[in-house]
Amino acid sequence: MSTKRDGLRDDPWERLKDLPPGRKGTEGRPAKNNRLFVEAVLYRYRAGIPWRDLPERFGDFRVVHTRLSRWAKRGVWQKIFEHLSSDADNEYAAIDATIGFCQSALARSTTWFPPSSS
């Protein structure tokens, strides 16, 4: 099982990899790398950093933030959260809590908000 200190382990990814949009055979343009995107979101919220400080290996922070907002509006994060939280295994609690935090923070927003510049 491969893992990086700040990455998503293989077993949780296997459980959710078929949920996000952008997969082959789904509507819309294929995503470049859904796993890297999910890892970027988890990294940002776990570290508590501004979007601007997201490491370059995750790509342009503005693109990651925009995609996060789109997924929230489409209910993707909610679907991922519900799927992972249906398992009684507490091993996924960190992922569930992070996604739940992201979902609730975005749900409270009534308008689109640009990435933090600080």
Q: What is the pLDDT of residues 31-88, one digit of tens each?
A: 678 899 999 999 999 899 999 999 999 999 999 999 999 999 989 899 888 887 877 6
Query: Each residue of 94-105: b (16+ CB within 10 Å) or e?
Result: ebbebbbebbee
pLDDT band at 3 (very low <50, low <70, confident <90, very high): very low
Token output for 108: 């409270």
- φ, ψ of residue 37 in degrees (nearest 5): -65, -45
Instruction: For residues 90-102, give the mean pLDDT.
Output: 56
Q: Which residue has the higher pLDDT, 41 or 30?
A: 41
pLDDT band at 107 (very low <50, low <70, confident <90, very high): low
pTM of the shown model: 0.67
| Average pLDDT in the chain | 76
Task: State residue 85's pLDDT score.
Answer: 80
